[in-house]
Amino acid sequence: MKKLLLYGLFLNLSFIYSIFGQSKFELKVVSDSNDPIENAIILNVSNNKFYYSDSIGVTKIEYLSEIDSFKVIIPTFYETYFTIKEIKGKSSTIELKPKITQLKEVIVTSKNQKYKKLNSFKIESKKKYFSSHISTGGSIASEFYFNEKGKKKINSISFYFKVTDENIKIRPLLYKLVNNNWEPILETANTISINKDSEELNINLEKFNIYLNPKNKYIIGFELIDKNKVSTTEVLSISKKNLISYLKSKPNSKWFRIQEKDPNFSIYYEIYFSE
């Protein structure tokens, strides 16, 4: 009986500590030019909880200990780590440095021979790098203007990843701009596992009979899905002028346009067409 009472007391104390033992800290995320950064992800590495900065770059984060480690992630900026102890009493602002220089030159070629003979559409840039994203049901997509000659049927699309977790999957997304609204032209409940042994993920879409029409705007991307709920995935990206990308924190949330920078950010993709 005493053991049960002691166990019950321990559970009650643990519950009280988890509810009331947390402290809150207001943080502001800015660029090196002191512009507020919206929708930056602040991940508590100690417990895998994450927060988003608002339109003025501010968020309130919770922590149990001042040595809890946090990571700030947003495309086009370098990841930044900090602890509450490091910034408390000094500054409540985290400054991020933009990825405006080439981080890593990546030569991308299709590893599947049968796709080499197909016509393809892709963006080229010398500034390719792997950008980190958190896979929690959020989505990322990039806009492009299709100006090829004639209507073309999509055979497949390729994205490039670096992952360490076998549980991460993606759901491909493709939208077309119609009357100033993004309408989905690829809708599938199917998810595709990312192969951690190969950077390229080629997705065959031939059965969906999707056509791209010239002089139309589209956005292409994917929803990141992880059975572990929170995990960091690296996606091959590029920097180039006049690019537009979007983020969604959850499947049902609205698309958020990534803050414009020079050069701008886009995920790297390749679209292959049937002959």
Architecture of domain 2-96 in this structure: Sandwich (2.60)
User: What pLDDT does 153 receive?
Assistant: 92
pLDDT digits (tens, 9 = 90+) for 102-120: 333 333 333 444 444 446 7
User: What pLDDT does 219 receive?
Assistant: 93
- Ranges of each domain in the chain: 2-96, 113-273
User: What pLDDT does 230 receive?
Assistant: 65
The band of 100, judged by pLDDT with boundaries at 50, 70 and 90, is low
User: What pLDDT does 8 receive?
Assistant: 44
| Nearest in space to 142 (alpha carbons), one of 241, 234, 218, 245 | 245
Four-residue CA torsion sign, 95, 234, 134, 48: negative
| CATH label, 113-273, candidates 2.20.25, 2.60.40, 1.10.10, 2.60.120 | 2.60.120
Residue 188: C-alpha distances to residues 61, 125, 140, 208, 262 (Å): 35, 30, 16, 9, 34
Return phi, psi of residue 180, to 5°. Answer: 65, 15
Is 247 in contact with 140 (CB distance < 8 Å)?
Answer: yes
Cis check: omega of the bond before 214, within 30 degrees of 0:
no
Instruction: Pick the more confident residue, 273 or 228.
Output: 273
User: What pLDDT does 107 receive?
Assistant: 35
**pTM score, whole prediction:** 0.67
pLDDT digits (tens, 9 = 90+) for 12-67: 444 444 444 578 888 898 888 888 888 788 888 877 788 888 888 898 888 888 88
Topology alike, domains 2-96 and 113-273: no
Residue 267: C-alpha distances to residues 49, 77, 87, 221, 247 (Å): 25, 14, 32, 8, 11
- Dist. CA 52–CA 33, nearest whole Å: 20
